[in-house]
Amino acid sequence: MTTVRSDDVEFPHSREHDVTSSPNELQRHFERTIEHDHRIEPRDWMPDGYRKTMVRQIAQHAHSEIIGMQPEGNWITRAPSLRRKAILLAKVQDEAGHGLYLYSAAETLGADREDLTVRLIEGRQKYSSIFNYPTLTFADVGVIGWLVDGAAICNQVPLCRSSYGPYARAMIRICKEESFHQRQGYELLMTMMRGTEAQRRMVQDATDRWWWPSLMMFGPPDVESPNTAQSMAWKVKRHTNDELRQRFVDMTVPQAQALGVTLPDPDLRWNPERGHYDFGEIDWAEFKQIISGNGPCNAQRVAARRAAHEGGEWVREAAAAYAAKHTGGRTGPDRHKSTYAASAAVQDRHKSTYGDSGSAA
- Nearer of residues 118 and 153 to other proteins, judged by Cβ: 118
| Minimal distance, residue 222 CB to other proteins, in Å | 33
Where do the H-state alpha helices sit in 235-297? 241-259, 284-289
Report d(CA 135, CA 296) in Å as an integer.
11
SS (H, E, C) 170-224: HHHHHHHHHHHHHHHHHHHHHHHHCCCHHHHHHHHHHHHHHHHHHHHCCCCCHHH
- Nearer of residues 99 and 142 to other proteins, judged by Cβ: 99
| Minimal distance, residue 236 CB to other proteins, in Å | 19
User: Quick one: CA dihedral 301, 291, 217, 55, positive or negative?
Assistant: negative
- Nearer of residues 107 and 265 to other proteins, judged by Cβ: 107
Site residues, other proteins (CB under 8 A): 1-3, 16-18, 29, 41-44, 90, 93-94, 97, 100-101, 104, 107-108, 112-115, 169-170, 173, 177, 313, 316-317, 319-327, 329, 331-333, 335-340
What's at 96, amino acid-wise? A
- Nearer of residues 45 and 133 to other proteins, judged by Cβ: 45
| Minimal distance, residue 16 CB to other proteins, in Å | 4
Report d(CA 351, CA 343) in Å as an integer.
13
- Nearer of residues 44 and 265 to other proteins, judged by Cβ: 44
| Minimal distance, residue 15 CB to other proteins, in Å | 9
| Minimal distance, residue 333 CB to other proteins, in Å | 5
Report d(CA 21, CA 221) in Å as an integer.
40
Q: In this structure, are residues 186 and 142 in contact, taking their beta carbons and an 8 Å threshold?
A: yes
Report d(CA 235, CA 228) in Å as an integer.
10
Report d(CA 67, CA 113) in Å as an integer.
15
| Minimal distance, residue 166 CB to other proteins, in Å | 8
DSSP calls for 71-135: HHHTTGGG-SSHHHHHHHHHHHHHHHHHHHHHHHHHHTTT--HHHHHHHHHTTSS---GGGGS--
Report d(CA 218, CA 213) in Å as an integer.
10
| Minimal distance, residue 332 CB to other proteins, in Å | 5
| Minimal distance, residue 224 CB to other proteins, in Å | 35
Q: In this structure, are residues 216 and 190 in contact, taking their beta carbons and an 8 Å threshold?
A: no
